[in-house]
Chain A
Amino acid sequence: MILTLTASGLPDGAPADDLGFLLHKHPARVQRFDLPVGAAHVFYPEVSPERCTAALLLEVDPVALARGRARTGAPEAASLGQHVNDRPYAVSSLFAVALSRVFGSAMAGRCASRPELAAAALPLQLRLPAVPCRGGADLLRRLLEPLGWDVGAREVPLDDTLPAWGASRYLDVTLTGTVRLSDALRHLYVLLPVLDDTKHYWVSPDEVDKLVRSGQGWLATHPEKDLVVRRYLAHLRSLTDDALSRLADDGPADDGPTDDRSAVVLADELSQDGQPDGAAPSDAPVTLAEQRRVAVLAELRAAGASRVADLGCGEGRLVAALLAEERFTEVVATDVSVRALQALARVLRLDGMPEHRRRRLQVFQSSLTYRDRRLRGLDAAVLVEVVEHVDRPRLQALERVVFAEHAPATVVVTTPNVEHNVRYATLTADGLRHPDHRFEFTRAEFLAWAQEVGGTHGYAVRVGGVGPDDPEVGPPSQLAVFTRTATTEVPA
């Protein structure tokens, strides 16, 4: 990965190769810096009084990168653990680190021999041939144009010979502008990882200090400040809030973040998992997910259930609501994904939960297509936005397990109403609401399914909707309540 930095037409007729003073790197020399992220080299492909170009080339050791990351075992480093990895080639947080190490003084704006140049805005051109950019050229412009850069961006094709594949996530970037060198470097230092939206290291609270320091003078007033801060701090809400408040105060905060960081990471991850919950978030403070929880809770209360299982509980929003009501004396939370249960443990803070509440809750991994004796004989089971994650041919196995084997007195099922999807702007390629949805029911399909399941397994069925009932396409979500009739056919 490589950056070239060209200066020409410096003010007051200063020679362009004064760039060497500003960077603290002599234009006649080739310098090497061995850094933890790789070997950085600084050299000058072009040096004249009119025009001077410095290059920073970082050689990342791909074997060390793959092996080192593989050993840490941290899930976020999983992609870094691959031998086939773009990190040695794309400009990323590794490069930002190299930039700050190699050009630290220049970044700080220190230059004893040319202080006036260090303080002045200079005509500069930066070239970065492979910048990974989540958000594309548009985001690149939104981030850099307000800082005085003229942005040139060429999309790098994914594969020249396969034009149908379109553009890659990389941009060949040229930035031209009259900017203080220290600012230019700090722009890159902050914004390269922001564009990439990935960091090669674990983001810790001292990142906030680095961000505030490097963003001084330009970030507080940047129109995309929130996005920059959020991405730079890897979406850790506690850190983000801290950073934003310090940027607003323009002074250091007196105490660090107190939040349980991991809990927040997850909450944040979950909030952006791409499910269009509610059409107009700003006008509708109550999300569809919340409306579903309210509806489900009302059904459980009406059924008089006290021992309740949330099957496919995810991160446990409904579980929290169930625990908040003493009437639910036993709450069982299951999910097939252990990661989801770990998320639940953090979101609900299982470790610190008061004993009397913790005693009412059981959390364990289970699967809806496998019988689980731990789930027998409960008053009610709820499947909130679960059935659509099961392949249609496997749905029968789920029905059998839930309705015939576990056979709770009441079963509440919610699922999207696919007819309503025309009201959503963003859908998957298949026209569904989530990439993992295997199908979504129309109202008629859901009703037919519910009635058939009820008939087969001896449950009376009532079907309704959740969310505003659109006259044309119905409510966004559907809900069915199954009530077990007195006797049930259980095959001998």
Chain B
Amino acid sequence: MSVPTATTPSPARELAVPALSLVVLVGTTGAGKSTFARRHFAATEVLSSDTCRGLVADDEDDQSATADAFAVLEFIAGRRLAGGRLTVVDATNVQASSRRSLVQLAREHDVLPVAVVLDVPEAVCAQRNLARGNRQFGPHVLRRQRADLRRSLKGLRREGFRTVHVLSGVEEVDAATVVRTRLHNDLRHLSGGFDVVGDVHGCREELESLLTRLGYGLRRDDGGRPVDAVAPEGRRAVFVGDLVDRGPDTPGVLRLVRGMVASGAALCVPGNHEAKLLRALRGRDVQVTHGLAESLAQLAAEPPQFRAEVEEFLDGLVSHYVLDGGRLVVAHAGLPERFHGRASARVRDVCLYGQTTGESDEFGLPVRHAWAQEYRGRATVVYGHTPVPVPEWVNGTLCVDTGCVFGGNLTALRHPEREVVSVPALRVHHAPARTFPANEALGGTRVDGGTAAGPAAVRDPDVLDVDDVLGRRVVETADHGRITVREENAAAALEVVSRFAVDPRWLLHLPPTTAPVATSAHPDFLEHPDEAFTAFRAEGVSGVLCEEKHMGSRALVLVCADEEAARARFGATGGELGAVWTRTGRSFFDAERTQTLLAELRGAVEAAGLFGELSTRWLLLDAELLPWSAKAMPLLREQYASVGAAAGASAPFAVDVLERAAARGADVDDLLQRSRSRAANSAAFTAAYRRYVWPTQGLDGVHLAPFAVLAGDGRTFADQPHAWHLDVADRLVRVAPERLRTTRRLLVDTTDPDSTQAATRWWLEATGAGGEGMVVKPAAGRVRTPRGLVQPALKVRGREYLRLVYGPDYLEPGNLVRLRERTLGRKRSLALREYALGLEGLARAARSEPLWRVHECVVAVLALESEPVDPRL
């Protein structure tokens, strides 16, 4: 791995440099460091102290700026290393003190420090310095640097440099080449299937069964002992460590795994038990506890040759592996994302022992840092170390130590299938320090090591982090690329979601805003169906479905098949069946009424046979809850009715006064006419909002009009035609006609004038009778064109209804002409982005992705809908 420090005469030296490392060039001024760096590294990889002096002091030679220059250099180097980028420091670095902080920097970022020494004769350097003219280095400076360099050469390894290359003389410097080497933990190039096996702890028999279950063909030696296994085509086993100790046949396990690693059928990372066993085998003084005694006794019965092989095998184990293009990470005790693919003593410690909080629990065992709860990486992390009764995904991490040696199971995760395969322990091999439940084959009894409760039977609810929602955010969506949420909007959304929203575990989705249709070409209309049909025709969408727009509030309904489904999928502990929430995530009703309503809906979904048909135990429905007054009573009274009252008191009075003035012959005709219009408008306005008001008592009078099925277990329904969605809705209406309402609809061919005219008549009739309007959707559901996602819906609101949006007098010619100048581009863009975020969130929810991944999409929709607030103070 490293090249000897001794000078070698070969002119064409190959310098091995780990692909992620901090390369420190060491050499006197004029040694040719910058030229060397330029030749072997990208310009952006090289940080030069001279350049940094220039940055902070406008003069690359200003030695008084050295401290500031290095502060800048180390800052940039730190950011690069944090980002996983090789970095080269071009400075003299001839003094140990200046190198010390660079080694420290490399350690902080868990990358390998590399020293490349350019040992060039003093005379050459002096000549070069002279040739550069502007440099004021006297011979004494160079002489001192040289002396420092000579002193440094021997101690570089002791200083912490893991790789040291010394190039002696101009010739060797010029002839050297740099080869970047892969880190040992970097096996990203290995793809295909992996079977990640949990802590074996000497349970050879169970390991044999598990490997057999996984399709591996065991190979045995003459004594019938398994020494290798043939992996199924394209697959490889990965052992998470803790092969040894406690169990009945540690040597047997080591023999098999070592053979598999040697043949390439398996990879293996070390566990803390291997580390300790290795120290014991090397004769170090270790405490013989935690089952080490069994291993040592069993190994003592083996020939010395075997023990030597074991020692060599254990010594060669690499702390963790990054596999499958970076999609899979295996480490014994798990690994936070910032350590993935890094190499340092710290990383090795974390891999072996995990991070602890420095505290201990009532059994004297160290309290572990809940790294998985905080994990936000994209790579799947599979680990062992801490036995759990059942493997459970936490933010894309999985512990596969199911306590085989304690009478649990031996478990493997099949990647990328995400399938968990377990075999039960044949017996309790070892009593645990704290309670652990034995597997069912052993009667499911608790094996006690103490009296208190064992590992939490109910998993802690996922804890969301403010960093999951705050700040400027970019959400990757499958349908619309990267969608940015501004910091100001995220800040506003955090407040709303924290103060008002239902539990994030229910809150899988918020509906996107619906764009209005383009302003109508008809002079008396602000919105008209023609523009909707034109718009979809222009997108090449011929089949559209016109859906009645209900006069209520948008409602999302999450309903589970039973309490068990709600508990298993959503972590509900209070017997809830789901939730019903508004477009901002707020619950419509108190807990009691919510659950009453959900019990009815569950019954309806069950009776309609939908849980079985869609093979899911939960459904998320998109619906309209009526009447509007059920949710918006304060708004109706304080805004709509108030305006109606003021207008109703004022406008007719003005008409009366003007009529008296007109009777006297005053020239008030225009004014009177306008005032009469205003009086009529106010009456029409009042009539418009009254349609949204009817009395409700509890749930009496509350109706729900479902119109789309959004998601269920493992799938979303965005690509189902809307006719299918409405058909499902109708089936629900049929079984619960008192509570549920159907949605009137009309299928339209946008290329057929007869069809669009019929739809226009339908709309005119409905809105003329007080209807709110309609929503026009591509009949097929989600539609993409080469230009991107097509609007999922356009709303065409009725002429009278729009008084509630644009005010009582909006139809007055002078007003309408200005209102027609509305700009819809922003609203349309918003509608598309929110639609894509919604689809993305639903897809993530259907795939049972970590809560924060779903929540991120939900809060992003809310943020885009929020008025920005400036969080800077």
Question: Which residues of A pack against B, CB within 8 Å?
Answer: 1-2, 4, 28, 30, 41, 43-47, 53, 55, 57, 59, 62-63, 66-67, 82-86, 88-90, 127, 129-130, 132, 156-162, 165, 168-170, 172, 336-339, 341-342, 344-345, 350, 363-373, 389, 393-394, 396-397, 400-401, 405, 436, 486-492
Decide if B686 touches A159 in the complex (CB within 8 Å): yes
Q: Are B494 and A365 in contact (CB under 8 A)?
A: yes
Query: Contacts A45-B664, A83-B806, A156-B645 given: A130-B637 contact, CB under 8 Å?
Result: no
Pairwise interchain contact B646-A86, C-beta atoms closer than 8 A: yes
Q: Inside 8 A of A59's CB, which chain B residues have their CB?
A: 671, 674
Q: Given the complex of chains A and B, what is the CA–CA distance between A161 and B492 in angstroms?
A: 39
A436 to B470 CA separation, bound complex (whole angstroms): 24
Whether the pair B650, A129 counts as a contact (CB closer than 8 A) is yes
B243 within 8 A of A: no
Q: How long is the Cα–Cα vector from A225 to B517 in the complex, in angstroms?
A: 53
Instruction: Give chain B residues whose Cβ lies under 8 Å from the Cβ of A367.
Output: 466, 494-495, 498
Contact between B649 and A172, CB atoms less than 8 A apart:
yes
Do B664 and A46 touch across chains, with their CB atoms under 8 A apart? yes
B window 783-836: CB within 8 A of A: 804-810, 815, 818-819
- B807 contacts A84, C-beta separation under 8 Å: yes
List, in ascending order, chain B residues with CB within 8 A of A487's CB. 359-362, 367
**Provided the pairs A83-B805, A165-B641 are in contact, do residues A370 and B466 lie with their beta carbons within 8 angstroms?**
yes
- Give the chain A neighbours of B658 by CB distance below 8 A: 43, 45, 55, 57
Whether B647 is near chain A, meaning CB under 8 Å from some CB there, is yes
Complex Cα distance A156/B649, Å? 7
Q: Judging by beta carbons under 8 Å apart, are A366 and B664 in contact?
A: no
Instruction: Indicate with 1 or 0, residue by residue over B220-250, a CB within 8 angstroms of chain A CB atoms.
Output: 0000000000000000000000000000000
Closest 5 CB pairs of A and B: A45-B660, A492-B368, A168-B645, A89-B646, A367-B498
Contact A372 B465 (CB under 8 A): yes
Interface CB pairs A-B, < 8 A, 8: A30-B667, A83-B810, A86-B647, A129-B649, A169-B642, A365-B494, A372-B466, A488-B357
B607 at the interface (CB under 8 A from A): no
In the complex, are the beta carbons of A370 and B640 less than 8 A apart? Answer: no
Q: Which residues of B contact A371 (CB under 8 A)?
A: 373-374, 463-466
Q: Which residue of B lies closest to A344 (CB)?
A: B873
Report the Cα distance A62→B816, complex, angstroms.
11
B369 near A370: Cβ-Cβ < 8 Å:
no
Q: CB < 8 Å: which of B591, B640, B645 contacts A84? A: B640
What is the CB-to-nearest-CB distance from A445 to chain B, in angstroms, rounded to a whole number?
Answer: 17
Knowing A370-B466, A400-B460 are in contact, say whether A365-B651 is a contact too (CB < 8 A).
no
Q: A residues within 8 A CB of B418? A: none
Choose from A89, A372, A394, A400 the contact partner of B643 (Cβ within 8 Å): A89
Q: Is B520 an interface residue (CB 8 A)?
A: no
Q: Which residues of A contact B35 (CB under 8 A)?
A: none
Q: How far is the CA of A370 from the CA of B804 in the complex (A)?
A: 38
- Once the chains are docked, how many angstroms separate the CA of A162 from the CA of B804? 18
From A350, A364, A492, contact of B370 by CB (8 A):
A492
Whether the pair B643, A84 counts as a contact (CB closer than 8 A) is: yes
Q: Does B386 contact A (CB under 8 A)?
A: yes
Given the interface contacts A44-B666, A84-B640, A345-B873, does A2 sit within 8 Å of B657 by beta carbon? Answer: yes
What string of 1s and 0s marks CB contacts (under 8 Å) between B454-476 and chain A? 00100011011111111000000
- A90 adjacent to B646 (CB under 8 Å): yes
| Residues of A close to B492: CB separation below 8 A | 338
Interface presence of B653 (CB below 8 A) = yes
CB–CB A89/B650 < 8 A: yes
Inter-chain pairs besides A45-B666, A86-B643, A89-B643, 17 sampled, C-beta below 8 Å: A46-B664, A67-B818, A84-B804, A132-B646, A156-B646, A158-B645, A160-B648, A168-B645, A345-B873, A350-B873, A365-B494, A365-B871, A393-B591, A396-B461, A397-B461, A490-B359, A492-B386
Knowing A2-B657, A83-B810, A365-B494 touch, does A89 contact B651 (C-beta < 8 A)?
Answer: yes
CB distance from B611 to the nearest CB of A (A): 25
Task: Indicate if B690 sits at the interface (CB-CB under 8 A).
Answer: yes
Partner of B367, one of A45, A63, A490: A490
Bound complex: CA A345 to CA B819 (Å): 40
Across-interface contacts of A90 in B (CB, < 8 A): 646, 650
Give Cα A99 to B873, complex, Å: 42
Residue among B354, B466, B668 facing the most chain A CB atoms (10 A cut-off): B466
Does any Cβ of A come within 8 Å of B682's Cβ? yes
Q: Tell me how far the C-beta of A340 lies from the nearest C-beta in chain B, rounded to whole angstroms.
A: 9
Quick one: which of A89, A339, A405 has the most chain B CB within 10 A? A89
Indicate the size class of the contact surface on chain B.
35 or more
Residues of A within 8 A of B374 (CB): 371
- The residue that B815 contacts in the complex, of A57, A62, A338, A364, with Cβ under 8 A, is A62
Contact with A along B651-690 (1 / 0, CB 8 A): 1011001101100101110010011000000100010001
Please state if A46 and B871 are interface contacts (CB–CB under 8 Å).
no
CA distance A372 to B468 in the complex (A): 10
Q: Is the CB of A44 within 8 A of B664?
A: yes
- Pair A394/B503 contact, Cβ less than 8 Å: yes
Within 8 Å by CB of B646, from A44, A130, A369, A400, lies A130
- With A341-B873, A365-B494, A487-B367 known as contacts, the answer to whether A2 contacts B361 (CB < 8 A) is no
Q: Which residues of A contact B690 (CB under 8 A)?
A: 159, 161-162
Would you call B661 and A165 a contact (CB within 8 A)?
no
Contacts of A365 in B (CB 8 A): 470, 491, 494-495, 871
Selected from A57, A130, A490, A491, the residue in CB contact (under 8 A) with B649 is A130
Q: Within the complex, what minimum Cβ distance (angstroms) separates A484 from chain B?
A: 10
Contact with A along B492-529 (1 / 0, CB 8 A): 10110011001100000000000000000000000000
B644 interfacial by beta-carbon distance below 8 Å: yes
Q: Which residues of B contact A63 (CB under 8 A)?
A: 807, 810, 815, 818-819
Contact flags (1/0) for B383-402 with A, using CB distance below 8 Å?
Answer: 00010000000000000000
CB neighbours (8 Å) of B808 from chain A are: 84
Assess whether A159 is in contact with B644, with CB atoms less than 8 Å apart.
yes
Complex Cα–Cα for A161 and B359 (A): 69
> Which residues on the B side are within 8 Å of A62 (C-beta)?
807, 809-810, 815
Complex-state Cα separation, A345 to B871, whole angstroms: 11
The answer on a CB contact under 8 Å between B654 and A2 is yes
| Least CB distance, A383 to chain B, in whole angstroms | 14
Say yes or no: A336 contacts B499, CB within 8 Å.
yes
In the bound complex, how far is the Cα of B804 from the Cα of A169, in angstroms?
20
Q: CA A165 – CA B640 in complex, angstroms?
A: 12
Cβ contacts under 8 Å, B643 to chain A? 84-86, 89
Closest to A335 in B: B495
The answer, yes or no, to whether B869 is at the interface (CB within 8 Å) is yes
Q: Is there a chain A Cβ closer than 8 Å to B2's Cβ?
A: no
Indicate which residue in B370, B469, B873 contacts A491 across the interface (CB closer than 8 Å): B370
In the bound complex, what is the Cα–Cα distance between A490 and B646 (angstroms)?
Answer: 60
Set A129, A364, A492: member contacting B653, Cβ < 8 A: A129
- Whether A82 contacts B494 in the complex (CB less than 8 A), given A44-B666, A397-B461, A492-B386, comes out as no
CB distance from B357 to the nearest CB of A (A): 6
Instruction: Check if B693 is an interface residue, CB within 8 A of chain A.
Output: yes
B406 CB to closest chain A CB (Å) equals 16
Chain B residue at minimal CB-CB distance from A28 = B666
Bound CA span A358–B624, Å: 51
A342 to B690, CA, bound (A): 40
Contacts of A156 in B (CB 8 A): 645-646, 648-649
Contact of B498 among A350, A363, A369 (CB under 8 A): A369
Instruction: Return chain B residues, CB-CB under 8 Å to A82.
Output: 639
B window 21-38: CB within 8 A of A:
none
Task: Take A62-B807, A490-B368, A491-B460 as given contacts and tell me if A89 and B647 are in contact as well, using a CB distance cutoff of 8 Å.
Answer: yes
Residues in B with CB closer than 8 Å to A396 are 461
Compute how far the CA of A365 lies from the CA of B871 in the bound complex, rounded to whole angstroms.
7
Return the chain B residue nearest A487 by Cβ: B359
Interface flag for B870 (CB, 8 Å) = yes
A63-B819, A129-B653 are contacts. A170–B646 as well, Cβ < 8 Å? Answer: yes
Q: How far is the CA of A244 from the CA of B690 in the complex (A)?
A: 46
The CA of A336 and the CA of B501, in the complex, are separated in Å by: 13
The CA of A85 and the CA of B682, in the complex, are separated in Å by 12
